[in-house]
Structure 1
């Protein structure tokens, strides 16, 4: 019995060959996307099957089971769940930056819930995916046999959009994997157009050039990408690691407690898993300041509410969440895709260049297809025009012919026509012989000739093809483009910096004599008419009173000066935000103050490079100037800023340029103006020099820096105030007694000077009383008078109350 031929095989070589074949099959046919349309075979087959079924974005939904069956039966002989899972993912707006499938029903959730069974859900193509399939019936791409050779399927889609980068891709092949992050369409379109504009010198285009348009990935779930180094490396080499954080904000609730609200989480992070991880950390005691945790997410957006215990420091808890939970995670970029059926690692420029080359091929093939059809139509129209020009002879020839075949042959012979033209004449309806119909044929022929000329010119000019790609990208960007969702904290470090989450907004910082501090949105106090009682600005205990009111922005650095001559540094946003009427929290919670140490002065520093000096003044008239750079890095325990004499108190600090004029105002209504440079620059340990000579019982009430075009606003303890032009204050030498700045005979009636500020006409001011009443006024409402006037009532102050401080709110606030 013939049992066949026995062949000796080297098992080592056989295994190597078989495994290599298997590996390449997985790489090419399953795991890696094509660099041209950004799709794996299963996704491409799903979209093409839906297109073939006529399921468009404007048509009715079809059962998912029907679509899956179509894909399995015609193109993809694998498991039905593999196809359904792939289709479901293309419908998830938390997985795809621009979903390709419009799903109806339960297609899963960011909590990790699986989609409903395919018999329950429905789907159709998204308008976005129709752009990937556009012109597929115009010989723009190659087709190959399906698995059983009965049908044809596209090798790649025409893809008007750079889907590889738009929606990204992930997959694990044999010995390699891909993980491409999604991007923003508007940004990619701008980068593609930039490459087209510099196509002749494309080799000179750098990663930095492209990053002017594409600053980084844009995840569908938003979040924050920390730093630019990882992005630069990814775009330059195709491989990198990005640190991504969720977005959170801190809100104050009743009772002085705080909530952390998480509104965005990193891409591909399971929300339910994140909540479970936080709960686990609380149970294990690793995070001990959380009292409650709940998920309040709904159709309006994500909202994970973390309630903190009384006295908890919200920033510290947020740091712990970033450190111990997936709220901060990494995204490994591996931009691997198939180029000519071979896996290639693609930098950003190469990926965009491949898309441009793909579109060039598609437009060339589409144009040739259109040109062939246009030429064929022009050929027919030329025959019809010949027939219309010789209408009687043509009719006679046809009538005298015994059958259609003979008529066609006689027309070809007599009028020098082709077989196609003759057949078109025979097929022409009698109504086309009317004059109006003849005109339509003439017009159609001219249109077709113009189209032929345009297509021939387009095919002969690569630059015009590139211009057409650019025009298409611009229109698609306008049609589908949307704002970036993912924020990039370019200068942030991977270890958490809360500034990355803070909006730059105007705020008011208040501090009481007993050391309670808070931050309030500056817009919480609306402008009022002068003389009003104001609104409740702070809950103040009977034994406490407001001592300081400071205007700043959330990203400003605040320098706090204490009664012991020390300086402390803190970002404004690190002070917990509170409602207008809340008392705040003890300053010792945010500043490392020693026992019984009190803050007596503060200054907001927008930028340590914008000012040169910090000028300080004490209540006993001493003044000191220190280089601002001395306070650029203040350690948590504070630094010595000034040596104070016994009984003296540091009360004011201002930023100066070195060429400013200083104005000291006393409680009894004296004011002295002198040049800043009369005070030499001193070290931090120095005690300063005499700024103004005080009479017995007098004290300094304010120190200001003169501004061109400004006025000096003086406000008394009983709420009286007025403006005086700065020109009325003569320039004198330091250590003098100054000149009168208010009607000193009326001090018993109006009260001593509480504070003075240099203001501009367009500013607002905020006045706060010792009992916490606050009023906001427009400076333009306050009369401008001479130095010796008493002023008018600006704020109604009750019995036992007095004006404590003034904050200037510049125009931009």
Structure 2
């Protein structure tokens, strides 16, 4: 390729070489016509032309229809191609080709990118293109134009409506072969509704989407009150309404942008704190800031965890799908305060993003920075012009038609003469002249009569013409009224905007929040005290609480140590098998009938949503989610790990063990060594030597004795004889009654009946525990229930204060209200009872702190 100069001409040396090669004479340099041009002025002139071209024809939207030239050409060409919403989709490449070949003097990739944006509901609040296929996501680009299909959306029809009614000016396309609109009629304020983004030369625009109903309400208010200020308009448009929803925190920047055209606001994701698993609390993200995708959040989150800027994150999962929408689950480590972790995420990930408003748009071909009122005023003026021109166009059309109809009616008065004139005329021109002379018609009327078909000259045609004439007269009067009255014109525009809002509007998605308090986040400049405070805020407060095991096998943690009472509680899952006093960052143990003790972090157990709420355990989690049981193994109780425990077995063995015997480095260990096929039937705190240990057997025998009779053993000990059993008898229940509750303690026994006896039913008895005298260890005790005919033994037994009964599913059941004799029989039950348990808090000694000290991380 030959070198050329700045004007695209071949250089002098190349010309000389080319001439030599052609065998022609070389032209001397002094004979050339050389023009000296100042490089600075040439660059300045060329750059200004380029800048103006970019600004006006590419990067900035028009303030009237809110569209860039390429977007306007796409919608216009789709309208010309008939790609209306009621038609089928066509290949996107076909649309791109039509736009590129007829209207847009740029490449197909730029056209397709613009069309893709018009179809993306995560970019536009009201998409103008109905896309079929992969049109991309926030994180990924679209498929190629040959793989996707498109047509106009319903909203696009409102943008192009009435184009053929002289509503806007047209201009030649790039090769002067076609006409294209300079602006679309735009039946709604597209620039505010869908926003815009573009980078020109020396300037840029970045406009946020808004809610259609709110914007139209403000436009209608401005139509009725042209002197309204920005404050009045903000009553209708309080802030942007982003396609992705989320929240906008802080409204000062929005107000500044609406006043001056420039401002900044902060977007935050919509995040809920949920129990994502039995052991974990999580942050569930359902809405992200505008322009942020889940993949970007995950990448930044992983980077923050790896660089130690973010702590407390256990895992992150993207559960987004088409059916349920966005769902990003961020699982937290045990013991971390969700709000404090969320504050870190807002600081170090795109869960919080800023949006800089820069309302730059073209007004009469000049870029201007516009506030809210200016944007609405430009659109309202445009819409008034469109409706005025449309009205004038329709008025002219109807007047022309009325002129023809009146001529037809005149001709139909004497149709025979009209026919005779036409038949006897030498040619069309002569017939036209004679009709104009005889019936006083204009040339247009006469030509129209000559073009009529004979079948139109019937009686019914005359009636139709008279009806049409009356309708035309009424329509002309209405149109003239609009053109003659500015108030009527404004009312028409306002009513049409109301119809558009009703047809295309929807509810607000983005929540506006004035301010939001979050846990402090650590920065590089934070002081040592600030870092310590932030680290402390990350952790769940080590507050005293109860850990409860319910009758249906569910675990729950309370928010505080509010006393638990049986009074007034008759809901589901309100029978407590175990109640343990601990702290939020403490530990409890799960004891199985095989004698295994399993550590559980209290912070892993779901907590009540309110600190003082009465636990119903309807939101609890099955204990088996925290404890892995062997086949045939059952969970017996939840116990504290910092107190002396007493355990009772099925064969009458009893054991007391101190907390300092538990291994510190094991989460699963044996609390007792069992012999043969023995099983643990109960375990409770027995810290005081005067606490009463109570055995109840299947045959109805009860033995109680003081805890002092049982010397504490080590963890590996197998216990000592607690109750002597007759052959075939087994321990059914083992409980500990604190000495403080001895006066209020009762014994509840329920019998098991012979299924073959039809008239037998279980009986229940409630007896004061003090009616049973304390005996020595390893004795048979006393009879607690006289068995009647058909009763095989006891099915349930329990000793303690504040008893409650329920089914195994947690449905409350009533117990006998009157106390029975120690050796008496029970009263018949109306409904079956599956579980008997605590109805209130255990009594704690004032001299002993029962809250387990938490370990610091």
TM-score (normalised: structure 2): 0.61
| Aligned mates of 2:335, 2:617 — CA distance in 1 | 14
| Aligned mates of 1:577, 1:411 — CA distance in 2 | 98
**2:127 alignment counterpart:** 99
| Aligned mates of 1:119, 1:800 — CA distance in 2 | 70
| Aligned mates of 1:574, 1:217 — CA distance in 2 | 39
RMSD: 3.8
**1:287 alignment counterpart:** 310
What SS class does the counterpart of residue 356 from structure 2 fall into? Answer: strand
Pairing partner for 1:161 from 188, 193, 196: 188
**1:250 alignment counterpart:** 273
| Residues 155-187 of structure 1 deviation map (CA, whole Å, 9 limit, x = unaligned) | 000101100001000000111100000000011
Q: Give 1:264 deviation, angstroms.
A: 0.9
Rate the CA distance shift 1:800–1:393 in 2: closer, same or farther, 3 A.
closer
Rate the CA distance shift 1:62–1:252 in 2: closer, same or farther, 3 A.
same
Rate the CA distance shift 1:519–1:161 in 2: closer, same or farther, 3 A.
farther
Q: Give 1:426 deviation, angstroms.
A: 1.4
| Aligned mates of 1:252, 1:282 — CA distance in 2 | 22
Matched, 1:217 2:240: yes
Matched, 1:81 2:109: yes
Pairing partner for 1:477 from 468, 488, 501: 501
| Aligned mates of 1:214, 1:577 — CA distance in 2 | 45
What SS class does the counterpart of residue 535 from structure 1 fall into? Answer: coil
What SS class does the counterpart of residue 43 from structure 1 fall into? Answer: helix
| Aligned mates of 2:575, 2:232 — CA distance in 1 | 52
Contact 2:340 2:520 (8 Å CA) reproduced: no
> Matches of residues 285-364 of structure 1 in structure 2 within 5 Å?
285-300=308-323, 301-364=325-388
Q: Give 1:6 deviation, angstroms.
A: 4.2
Rate the CA distance shift 1:244–1:540 in 2: closer, same or farther, 3 A.
farther
Rate the CA distance shift 1:573–1:142 in 2: closer, same or farther, 3 A.
farther
Q: Which runs of 5+ in 1 are unaligned?
A: 498-508, 521-527, 547-569, 585-595, 597-715, 719-747, 750-767, 778-795, 806-813
**2:171 alignment counterpart:** 144
| Residues 709-752 of structure 1 deviation map (CA, whole Å, 9 limit, x = unaligned) | xxxxxxx999xxxxxxxxxxxxxxxxxxxxxxxxxxxxx99xxx
What SS class does the counterpart of residue 99 from structure 1 fall into? Answer: coil
**1:386 alignment counterpart:** 410
Rate the CA distance shift 1:216–1:4 in 2: closer, same or farther, 3 A.
farther
**2:21 alignment counterpart:** none
Rate the CA distance shift 1:539–1:798 in 2: closer, same or farther, 3 A.
closer
Q: Which moved more, 1:438-447 or 1:264-273?
A: 264-273
| Aligned mates of 1:771, 1:582 — CA distance in 2 | 21
Matched, 1:536 2:573: yes
Pairing partner for 1:271 from 288, 294, 300: 294
Pairing partner for 1:512 from 546, 549, 558: 546
**1:610 alignment counterpart:** none
Matched, 1:185 2:212: yes
Rate the CA distance shift 1:360–1:543 in 2: closer, same or farther, 3 A.
closer
**2:516 alignment counterpart:** 492
| Residues 793-812 of structure 1 deviation map (CA, whole Å, 9 limit, x = unaligned) | xxx9986734569xxxxxxx
**2:57 alignment counterpart:** 29
Q: Which runs of 5+ in 2 are unaligned?
A: 1-26, 522-542, 549-555, 561-565, 584-607, 624-641, 643-743, 747-767, 770-800, 813-832, 843-857
Rate the CA distance shift 1:317–1:583 in 2: closer, same or farther, 3 A.
farther
Matched, 1:126 2:126: no
**1:417 alignment counterpart:** 441
How many residue pairs get aligned? The number is 567
Contact 2:571 2:616 (8 Å CA) reproduced: no
Q: Give 1:583 deviation, angstroms.
A: 11
Rate the CA distance shift 1:484–1:383 in 2: closer, same or farther, 3 A.
same
**2:93 alignment counterpart:** 65
Rate the CA distance shift 1:495–1:582 in 2: closer, same or farther, 3 A.
closer
> Matches of residues 348-747 of structure 1 in structure 2 within 5 Å?
348-492=372-516, 512=546, 518=558, 533-537=570-574, 541-544=578-581, 580-581=619-620
**1:239 alignment counterpart:** 262
Q: Give 1:233 deviation, angstroms.
A: 0.7
**1:731 alignment counterpart:** none
TM-score (normalised: structure 1): 0.64
Rate the CA distance shift 1:306–1:531 in 2: closer, same or farther, 3 A.
closer
| Aligned mates of 1:385, 1:453 — CA distance in 2 | 21
**1:41 alignment counterpart:** 69
Rate the CA distance shift 1:799–1:65 in 2: closer, same or farther, 3 A.
closer
What SS class does the counterpart of residue 137 from structure 1 fall into? Answer: helix
| Aligned mates of 1:577, 1:345 — CA distance in 2 | 60
Contact 1:105 1:120 (8 Å CA) reproduced: yes
| Residues 199-239 of structure 1 deviation map (CA, whole Å, 9 limit, x = unaligned) | 3xx1xx22221111111101111111001111111111110
Contact 2:435 2:446 (8 Å CA) reproduced: yes
